[in-house]
Structure 1
Amino acid sequence: MADFLLVHGSCHGAWCWRDLIPELAALGHTARAIDMPSHGADPTPVSEVTLQGCRDAVLKACSPQTIVVGHSWGGYPISAAAEAQPTRIRALVYLCAYLPKDGMSMIEMRRQSPRQTIGDAVDKSADGLSYTVKPERVQDLFYHDCPAETVPYALSRLCPQAIAPQDTPLPLSDAFARVSKAYIQATNDRTIPPEYQKQMSFGVPEAMRHSIDSSHSPFFSHPGQLAEILDSIAIDLPHEGGAQATFQR
């Protein structure tokens, strides 16, 4: 079956995939989650976090058979990894994530959204290097449809998010375009507007576009359904040399 590598979004860590990993295992897949630099157990200082370092963390955990799932901001490091070493990745799955446009940073892409949802929900650090999400906004933004225990579990683990990698433009080429891609839109998302996700999903083939009636955190709210969608994606992936989506310019 498939080998999945799970890459978290802003302020999260490998811990957020807690409920999805056993669901994928029950379907016969292997699934691993990693901490991005400065998140979870990773000791990298926030001041040293770069998009290149996040990219390299993804590549280090990949094999040519790996399907890499990126959540939210995680769409950027997985795309950077595919651009750098496309033969080391079987496919990319964007889970309510930013699917980059050539030469744009994540912050620039967020500003192109038809609605801004998080501007008043974050606090920038005194040194200007990172931000955190206000605790009173966490449930509404990320977990409004999740089990009650999700919020205290997450609040004890959420961490500062380095700004520099999210403010770094990502040039893309035909190397990135050659990698198979799928998109999973969360239709009840309060962080990345669903209509913007739908727009970004046009960067993948129509047959590889999926949706889930979930908040920004389907790995907590609907882990079983999410695992089934990922299972379907793994089955439907084109064989090597099959048609791929053209990256967005």
Structure 2
Amino acid sequence: MSEENKKQHFVLVHGACHGAWCWYKVKPLLEASGHLVTALDLAASGIDTTRSITEISSCEQYSEPLMQLMASLPVDEKVVLVGHSFGGLNLAMAMDKFPDKISVSVFVTAFMPDTKHSPSFVMDKEFGGDKPLEIWLGTEFEPYGSDRSGVSMFFSNEFMKQALYQLSPIEDLELGLLLKRPGSLFINELSRVKNFSDKGYGSVPRAYIVCKRDKIIKEEHQRWMIDNFPADLVKEMDETDHMPMFCKPQLLSDHLLEIADKFA
């Protein structure tokens, strides 16, 4: 196998209220190109029924399955980390802790924090403050935890139809409606933890894939995050909603392969 086609290990990280299942179209496309692919469920997500989100008190705890995978990798193996939506925060945590085990991290219309502000900063700007609840179209928010600082989030059907999957195949919307789980953005907790470090998180190459018709993390906010903490490479997907793995799986896979090849 030539250096150009060197086998890569892609690790795919889902967004809030979703699970490993959401990569079902992209995983075989990457594998067909000869690569190893791991799609995992974060804590209390996907088919992990051992816990509910109200038992998860921190983003670090939520990220444990990813951290365990990273810790289990051989010393000389580097992975291509791919995070969608809120999964960008899980990527940042893994990058901070295991910078030497990652060749590149790819933020797919994802929250991409910086090292100068708290980890919640990039979410506060889009979702914090006085944003009206109407934009969530009936999504349920419930405080939890002993101090009630945790907030669980359960996407409404209308929110998924109108704001997440509006350009995706109806079959994938139906799958999402059947498999969605309550999740959390951990904004209160992430506003209090220490910043990500330049030595860890900031030292790993980053690529960003902009989805231009995303109604949740809008293109303007995606580009603001890229300006705020510049990525090494930026790709764009036209006519693509918040769920590019359903909306345009082949194009997303092509972008991932190109990015992985560039940073191998």
Tell me the TM-score normalised to structure 2 length: 0.82
What SS class does the counterpart of residue 104 from structure 1 fall into?
coil
| Number of residue-to-residue matches in the alignment | 236
Q: Which residue of 2 aligns with 1:120?
A: 136
Deviation per residue, 1:48-83 (Å, 9 max, x gap): 322112333212223342111010000001101111
Q: Which residue of 2 aligns with 1:148?
A: 170
Is 2:43–2:63's contact at 8 Å kept on the other side of the alignment? no
**Whole-Å separation in 2 of the counterparts to 1:117 and 1:60:** 37
- Following superposition, the deviation at residue 109 of structure 1 comes to 2.2
**Whole-Å separation in 2 of the counterparts to 1:153 and 1:55:** 24
Is 1:53 matched with 2:61? yes
Deviation per residue, 1:127-181 (Å, 9 max, x gap): 4641111112211111111112111111010110135367414511122111111
Is 2:154–2:181's contact at 8 Å kept on the other side of the alignment? yes
List aligned pairs for 1:20-59, cutoff 5 A.
20-42=26-48, 43-49=50-56, 50-59=58-67
- Following superposition, the deviation at residue 117 of structure 1 comes to 8.8
What SS class does the counterpart of residue 162 from structure 1 fall into?
coil
Is 1:20–1:224's contact at 8 Å kept on the other side of the alignment? yes
Deviation per residue, 1:73-94 (Å, 9 max, x gap): 0000110111122122222110
Q: Which residue of 2 aligns with 1:242?
A: none
**Whole-Å separation in 1 of the counterparts to 2:206 and 2:157:** 34
Is 1:114–1:196's contact at 8 Å kept on the other side of the alignment? no
- Closer, same or farther: CA 95–131 of 1 in aligned 2, 3 Å: same
**Whole-Å separation in 2 of the counterparts to 1:156 and 1:233:** 32
Q: Which residue of 1 aligns with 2:196?
A: 172
What SS class does the counterpart of residue 156 from structure 1 fall into?
helix
Counterpart among 2, 6, 9 of residue 12 in structure 2? 6
Larger radius of gyration: 2
Is 1:234 matched with 2:245? no
Counterpart among 93, 110, 117 of residue 80 in structure 1? 93
Q: Which residue of 1 aligns with 2:224?
A: 199
**Whole-Å separation in 1 of the counterparts to 2:11 and 2:84:** 11
Unaligned runs of 5+ in 2: 1-6
Is 1:182–1:204's contact at 8 Å kept on the other side of the alignment? no
Unaligned runs of 5+ in 1: 240-249
- Closer, same or farther: CA 166–233 of 1 in aligned 2, 3 Å: farther
Q: Which residue of 1 aligns with 2:250?
A: 224
What SS class does the counterpart of residue 196 from structure 2 fall into?
coil
Q: Percent identity?
A: 25
**Whole-Å separation in 2 of the counterparts to 1:198 and 1:166:** 24
- Closer, same or farther: CA 9–217 of 1 in aligned 2, 3 Å: same
Is 1:136 matched with 2:158? yes
Amino acid aligned to 1:219: M
For the aligned residue pairs, the C-alpha RMSD in angstroms reads 2.3
What SS class does the counterpart of residue 207 from structure 2 fall into?
strand
